[in-house]
Structure 1
Amino acid sequence: MSFLSSAKSVEGLVSSGLLAQPTPGLLAVASQFAVSVTPAMMALIDPDDTADPIAAQFVPSVRELETHPEERADPIGDHAFSPVEGIVHRYPDRVLLKLLLTCPVYCRFCFRREQVGQGDGVLTPAALEGALDYIRAHPEVWEVILTGGDPLMLSDRRLAEVIERLNAIPHVKVLRIHTRVPVVDPARITPALVSALGGRAPVYVLLHCNHARELTPEARGACARLVDAGIPMLSQSVLLRGINDTPESLGLLMRAFVETRVKPHYLHHGDLARGTSHFRVPIADGQALLRGLRGRLSGLCQPSYMLDLPGGHGKVPVGPVFAVEGEDGWLLEDFNGHRHAYRDLGSLARDELSDEVKTAPADRASGR
């Protein structure tokens, strides 16, 4: 593993030149929420830029001590849907398998910031067996999502073992891995790691990345090693104030994904995690940003804007609406903001067919 030279404390960040001094406020933040910045990310930070978008994601700030009543320790309701340790079963056909609660970096906006980084955090053999037993006992589980923490922090051997055991469950057809590793520690994506992901069920890798600068040549090379091995990659980003909340920064990020052969997938609205209000962007602003991407960037560059409902009620698309139905048909908006009336002939044909069935002779209608 290659995380030994990461800065894992306020003092380490001071030694690296990323913080001026270990103030009481910063030490208080670090006592509540884990700190870790990898060498790859430290190299990207401009210490002279107080608004550096990479630093804002990983370097602790005293603003994290500001909390609001709406914020929650478990903002998306993982605990309520965790029938056994390591499993979250919120949606009918898929489960999260949280193999560990450690990450190579700790994002200052993380929705699991109350859980991750607390000790070793790896599932014990008994807990892993219990999680696998749960999956075996639920044939409706079509997809297993490896998450945590970051599952690519596991050794190649252990990761291969878990994937092999999941592949032995007949009703598990798809595996998904949520990770930041290809951008924050590209050297970790070795041929041995890629080989560990092989097996019967196809593996999809979802890459968490929030700013185009994170996709360095080394990161793009790491993604290429996965994609060239036949592993599809999709993106996950969080809409973050001061990081990717302008048309320019968000557009550059989506284009960078596509250039790296990573399909833009989800742009998450910031969750109500404790101490993260300074990152959150109004939903209306997020909708305006997504509206601005439509038509101006390739269709390949369009993510879905998603909000995770507090309490575990699932994700809801909250992107802009371009079609509204009225009494006289539909009103559609093009990418230039111009509105156009549209008569839905499919609906008209359906209504005419319905009238024809209603007036058909009784023998015809009954099929005799």
Structure 2
Amino acid sequence: MSNKRLERILDISPELKTILLSTDSLENKKDYIRGYLSQMLISAFEDDRQLPPLEWILVTDAVKTFKSLISARSERLSGFSFLGYLDDLIHRPEQVKPKPQKGFYAEVEALFRGVAGKAGIYKEKAPSFIKYSGERAAKLRSADLSRMAAKAEEFMEHYPCGLDEDAVRRRYRNKQRILEYFNATGFEWDDWKWHVKHIIRDEKILGDLVQLTDEEKQAIALARERRIPFGITPYYASLMDEKEDRKRDYAVRAQVIPPLNYIEKLWEARQRSEASMDFMLENDTSPIEGITRRYPMIVILKPILTCPQICVYCQRNWEIEDVYSQTAALSQKKLERAIQWIADTPEIREVLVTGGDPFLLSNSRIENLLFRLSSIKHIERIRIGTRTPVTLPQRITESLARDIGHFHEPGKREITVITHFEHPYEITPNAMEAVQKIRRLGMSVKNQMVFTTFNSRKFEAAVLRHKLSLIGVSPYYTFNTKGKEETEDYRVPLARLLQERAEEARLMPGTVRTDGVVFNVPGLGKNDITAMQHHSVLSILPNGRRVYEFHPWEKKLSLADTYVYTDVSIYDYLQKLKAWGENLNDYKTIWYYY
């Protein structure tokens, strides 16, 4: 075998090496490996003192994953034989296609280390407080906790917040520059309709307001040419730094300026008229136009399918024609039919009004819609999904808050606003005031965050939850990025989200760390992903991507199919972070989150 890296990997586990280098049949090798893995599992649970403390947990997780990788069921569901590929790589390397990428080797090495109890994660000495008891132990433990908190603070200080004094000053200058460009007044700036009227839709105007890179200009121009929705409110443009260095506003720009890869992939999919454009299979879960139902007691009502601002990775990008689409709003007749369907379905207790952004509708239409829904006796809760507190906080006027607030009746009916802050740099005094207008009337505001490349660095999501809690927004859900081809640049390995929740969120106060961590399964709905009982690894592909099987939320309630998903490569993701200046040692445990 001339593959030096593979040789080094095999040397990690002499037992596995002996099996894999043998000339036995693949089925025999499977049996031998299963026997070895079972023995390692027994050894770990029988308290093998040769394993460092806690290393046994990594062994058990790695063993379970390895067993899954070589099962016939996993091979069938993933369409790939991990062990067969590895065997060919060892004995018939010239025949192997496709060739393994660095991510594959990295995954195999981590797996072998995990199984062999050689992950090397726990290198520090055991904490000193475990040798003592009482006050002495408590003081030592407190000192350790202080060190952990200080380390977390070091990371958190890297991420700018829109409430920082320098950010407020910077945005004020941006606002003045934008007003001058449009020959507008401060009074107009405070009018949400002015912003809607002046939505920025091409690279020329945006380029006059902030410096754009050549790639950003090209992507925006191509989006307009190919009729891919693009739009930024003047307010949100003021959150972008004037310079193009992306040192602070990287997440803001990434929200709305599409990468070239996104444009190309979305265009190709549209040309093929693929059904997969409907990634969440809403066509298969819509019993009537305007309604989506994935749960027994909840429905989604979509009165409008456009927004004042288009987010790049929106799950409904396939439905949005244009910011100013004349057909975006559901006709009154269709809306009446949708509301009547809800009235005729007594099992429904909750309605999520979303779109698009329902706050793009007039106050009177919103109030009438809520009146109709509130008149249905079995509706106890109405959620309103809107990103206007982030992209257009001027829309949250006192009158709008009152119009929705008088349908909020404690003990009878709850009105909740669900919004989408994605980075602390989006939190501004304007956004904070918009939230307070809603909260002062007794309604809650909750946040759904999408975990993307641009908010996934160490403690970055923790900072967002921390700052949101301070302005009165409760962390609600953190979503794993949708697995769509066109959003490849935004997708983060599932293991990173699991790592964030276990290692970073756990250090935060309870109200800051607690939200639901979910994968939104197409056609089925939200799946909890905090434990291996909700998902399993089926395979590791030659390109280093893991293939997962997600178990539906109703798996112990009724018969339902599972969902197979191919993740992005952990190795490739880490290389992105490295290019941004991150120390990859800070992420070394990521490989052991399955």
Q: Same fold (TM over 0.5)?
A: yes
Aligned to 2:438: 226
1:17 and 2:213 are equivalent in the alignment: no
* 1: CA distance, partners of 2:532 / 2:286: 34
Find the residue that maps to 1:90 and give its secondary structure. coil
Deviation at 1:249, TM superposition (A): 1.5
Deviation at 1:63, TM superposition (A): 2.0
1:27 and 2:197 are equivalent in the alignment: no
1:205 and 2:422 are equivalent in the alignment: no
Post-superposition Cα deviations, 1:204-246, rounded to whole Å, max 9, x if no partner, equal 11111100011101101110111111111111010010x2101
Aligned to 1:272: 483
Larger CA deviation: 148-157 vs 45-54: 45-54
- Counterpart residue type for residue 252 of structure 2: I
* 2: CA distance, partners of 1:257 / 1:248: 14
- Counterpart residue type for residue 381 of structure 2: V
1:158 and 2:365 are equivalent in the alignment: yes
C-alpha contact 2:307 2:357 (8 A) present in aligned 1: yes
5+ residue gaps, structure 1: 323-336, 338-368
Post-superposition Cα deviations, 1:87-128, rounded to whole Å, max 9, x if no partner, equal 111111011000101111111111111112431300111011
Aligned to 1:5: 198
Aligned to 1:127: 334
User: Which among 314, 325, 329 is matched to residue 110 of structure 1?
Assistant: 314
Deviation at 1:33, TM superposition (A): 2.4
Aligned to 2:260: 62
* 2: CA distance, partners of 1:225 / 1:26: 35
* 1: CA distance, partners of 2:448 / 2:211: 26
C-alpha contact 2:517 2:528 (8 A) present in aligned 1: yes
* 2: CA distance, partners of 1:291 / 1:179: 29
For this pair of structures, how many residues does the alignment match?
A: 321
* 1: CA distance, partners of 2:197 / 2:437: 23
C-alpha contact 1:72 1:272 (8 A) present in aligned 2: no
C-alpha contact 1:72 1:274 (8 A) present in aligned 2: no
Find the residue that maps to 2:289 and give its secondary structure. coil
- Counterpart residue type for residue 183 of structure 1: V
Aligned to 1:350: none
5+ residue gaps, structure 2: 1-192, 534-588, 590-594
Residues 1:82 and 1:318: Cα distance change in structure 2 (over 3 Å) = same
Find the residue that maps to 2:277 and give its secondary structure. coil
C-alpha contact 1:88 1:97 (8 A) present in aligned 2: yes
Post-superposition Cα deviations, 1:115-146, rounded to whole Å, max 9, x if no partner, equal 12431300111011110111011000100100
* 2: CA distance, partners of 1:25 / 1:38: 18
* 2: CA distance, partners of 1:11 / 1:59: 13
1:45 and 2:222 are equivalent in the alignment: no
* 1: CA distance, partners of 2:236 / 2:460: 18
Residues 1:23 and 1:297: Cα distance change in structure 2 (over 3 Å) = closer
* 2: CA distance, partners of 1:140 / 1:14: 51
C-alpha contact 2:422 2:464 (8 A) present in aligned 1: yes
* 2: CA distance, partners of 1:134 / 1:268: 29
Post-superposition Cα deviations, 1:183-219, rounded to whole Å, max 9, x if no partner, equal 1111111111011112153201111110001110110
- Counterpart residue type for residue 232 of structure 1: S
Post-superposition Cα deviations, 1:9-37, rounded to whole Å, max 9, x if no partner, equal 33332333353568665433332421111
Superposed counterparts of 1:314-329, under 5 Å: 314-319=525-530
- Counterpart residue type for residue 60 of structure 1: P
Aligned to 1:99: 303
User: Which among 272, 285, 288 is matched to residue 81 of structure 1?
Assistant: 285
Find the residue that maps to 1:116 and give its secondary structure. coil
Larger CA deviation: 145-154 vs 111-120: 111-120
- Counterpart residue type for residue 297 of structure 1: M
Find the residue that maps to 2:222 and give its secondary structure. helix
Aligned to 2:519: 307
Aligned to 1:332: none
* 2: CA distance, partners of 1:101 / 1:273: 20
Superposed counterparts of 1:342-361, under 5 Å: none
Aligned to 2:401: 194
Residues 1:65 and 1:8: Cα distance change in structure 2 (over 3 Å) = closer
Find the residue that maps to 1:252 and give its secondary structure. helix
Q: Which has the larger radius of gyration?
A: 2
Aligned to 2:231: 36
Post-superposition Cα deviations, 1:132-174, rounded to whole Å, max 9, x if no partner, equal 1110110001001000001111110100000001111111111
Aligned to 1:349: none
C-alpha contact 2:256 2:311 (8 A) present in aligned 1: yes
TM-score (norm 2): 0.52
* 1: CA distance, partners of 2:330 / 2:346: 23
Residues 1:20 and 1:49: Cα distance change in structure 2 (over 3 Å) = closer
User: Which among 81, 86, 90 is matched to residue 294 of structure 2?
Assistant: 90
Larger CA deviation: 126-135 vs 266-275: 266-275
Aligned to 2:497: 286
1:175 and 2:382 are equivalent in the alignment: yes
